[in-house]
């Protein structure tokens, strides 16, 4: 059910990786921690899922290699960052969410949320 | 002697798990995955947030899914790549085979004409080269792998010559009486020293079979690779744009 123009809807893994990188480039474990934090622990991404998603996102041009760095703990880590396409795709996905919430509010499907979510 | 720490043991075990991933994936992501695992282990197990058993349960179940997904992706990719050269080989092989049938019909049944004969022989060489090159070109454009061009060219050459040879023998046996009257055939028969013209005609067909297979294999391999090389250049330019 992917749309031709913006590649949405995204899988939860791809969406949360994009969201985590939207605030700055990160290495693998930082992404995992950010996803856990952003979802209040509801999504815990394992290494296999993370790097499987990273592989596809690199191929799709959503993220790019930000280079390797030796961090203060002397460990060498590879960083990833969003591409312009990744930023646009994330924007399109968030817009889709906003529109969905608006629709749910119009239909009064989430009356308790309507006061909290100001669109 | 220094004792191996639990983190080092865990890392070694995890590195072993990674060997089950496809080669390309392991090469691209293996070192990063090990580093991320080390960070994860230090943060979760060494800090006492989680015990070893549930930690490993989560890691192994996630990695098993990842390994299966990546191995399946490689299998799917290789199947679809194989399909590409086979499809191109069959398509161009059949088309070229039909041309071979036409060539054999004209060559054996048309009245002897030196100009026509020479034109026909030169044309068939050129057509084989073009068809095998185009099959290779398309296969590489679709897969990006040069060897797929070679395979597509070889498949085109072999299939087409298979059709052509079958047609040649059918024509030879079905129209022996007409072929016996062919001026070129009579001329070559007298030079051969054989006692029967039928025997000469069959020997001629066997000779054509050997030459045809050799030429088709060579042309298929060389032109398929050449066409594939062009396809790779064009694909590379498109990707750059």
Average pLDDT of the segment spanning B102-125: 87
Condensed to tens digits (0 to 9), the pLDDT of residues A39-50 reads: 998 888 999 999
Please judge whether B63 and A48 are an interchain contact, meaning their C-beta atoms are less than 8 angstroms apart: yes
CA dist B197 and B171 (Å) reads 16
List all residues 6 or more positions away from B216 whose beta carbon is below 8 Å from its beta carbon: B128, B157, B158, B160, B161
Buried-exposed string B205-240: b where 16+ CB fall within 10 A, e elsewhere: beebeeebbeebeebbbbbbbbbbbbbbeebeeeee
CA dist B155 and B137 (Å) reads 13
Among B40, B58, B67, the residue with its CB nearest the CB of A29 is B40
Q: Looking at residue A4, what is its pLDDT? A: 45
Cis check: omega of the bond before A9, within 30 degrees of 0: yes
Chain A residue with CA closest to B39: the answer is A29
Condensed to tens digits (0 to 9), the pLDDT of residues B3-15 reads: 668 889 999 999 9
Contact B18, B38 (CB under 8 A): no
What do you get for the CA distance between the two ends of chain A, in Å?
26
Q: Looking at residue A113, what is its pLDDT? A: 56
| Residue A3, pLDDT above cutoff 60 | no
Q: Which of B234, B96, B79 lies closest to B163, judged by CA? A: B96
| Residue B237, pLDDT above cutoff 90 | no
CA dist A57 and A47 (Å) reads 15
- Structure-block tokens of residue B204: 């001629």
Please judge whether A49 and B38 are an interchain contact, meaning their C-beta atoms are less than 8 angstroms apart: no
Angle between helices B114-143 and B197-240 (to 10 degrees): 40
Q: Looking at residue B35, what is its pLDDT? A: 95
Q: What pTM value is reported for the model?
A: 0.62
Q: How far is B35 from chain A (nearest CA, A)?
A: 7
Query: Which residues from chain A sit within 8 angstroms of residue B65, using beta carbons?
Result: 48-49
Q: Which of B202, B161, B157 lies closest to B179, judged by CA? A: B202
Please judge whether B66 and A75 are an interchain contact, meaning their C-beta atoms are less than 8 angstroms apart: no
Average pLDDT of the segment spanning B13-41: 94
- Structure-block tokens of residue B129: 């080269």
Average pLDDT of the segment spanning B173-196: 86
- Structure-block tokens of residue A27: 């290495």
Chain A residue with CA closest to B59: the answer is A46
Condensed to tens digits (0 to 9), the pLDDT of residues A34-78 reads: 999 999 988 889 999 999 999 999 999 999 999 999 988 888 999
| Residue B1, pLDDT above cutoff 80 | no
């Amino acid at each position: 059910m992917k749309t031709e123009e913006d590649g949405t809807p995204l899988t939860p893994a791809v969406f949360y990786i994009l969201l985590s990188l939207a605030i700055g480039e990160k290495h693998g474990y930082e992404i995992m921690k950010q996803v856990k934090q952003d979802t209040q622990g509801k999504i815990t991404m394992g290494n296999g899922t993370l790097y499987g998603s990273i592989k596809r996102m690199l191929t799709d041009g959503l993220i790019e290699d930000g280079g390797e760095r030796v961090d203060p703990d002397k460990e060498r880590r590879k960083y990833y960052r969003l591409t312009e396409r990744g930023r646009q795709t994330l924007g399109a996905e968030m817009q889709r969410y906003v529109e969905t919430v608006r629709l749910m509010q119009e239909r009064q499907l989430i009356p308790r949320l309507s006061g909290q979510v100001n669109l | 002697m220094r004792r191996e720490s639990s983190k080092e043991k865990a890392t070694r075990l995890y590195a072993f798990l990674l060997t089950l991933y496809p080669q390309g994936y392991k090469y691209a992501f293996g070192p990063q995955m090990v580093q991320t695992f080390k960070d994860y282990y230090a943060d979760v197990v060494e800090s006492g947030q989680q015990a070893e058993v549930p930690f490993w349960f989560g890691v192994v179940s996630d990695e098993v899914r990842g390994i299966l997904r990546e191995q399946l992706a490689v299998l799917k990719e290789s199947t679809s790549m194989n399909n590409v050269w086979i499809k191109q080989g069959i398509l161009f092989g059949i088309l070229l085979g039909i041309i071979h049938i036409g060539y054999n019909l004209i060559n054996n049944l048309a009245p002897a004409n030196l100009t026509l004969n020479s034109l026909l022989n030169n044309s068939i060489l050129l057509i084989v080269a073009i068809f095998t090159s185009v099959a290779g070109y398309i296969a590489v454009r679709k897969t990006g792998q040069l060897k797929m061009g070679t395979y597509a060219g070889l498949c085109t050459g072999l299939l087409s010559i298979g059709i052509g040879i079958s047609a040649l023998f059918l024509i030879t046996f079905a129209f022996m009486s007409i072929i016996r009257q062919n001026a070129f055939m009579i001329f070559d028969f007298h030079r051969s020293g054989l006692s029967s013209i039928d025997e000469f005609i069959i020997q001629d067909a066997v000779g054509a079979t050997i030459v045809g297979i050799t030429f088709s294999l060579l042309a298929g391999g060389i032109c398929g690779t050449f066409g594939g090389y062009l396809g790779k250049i064009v694909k590379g330019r498109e990707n750059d744009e």
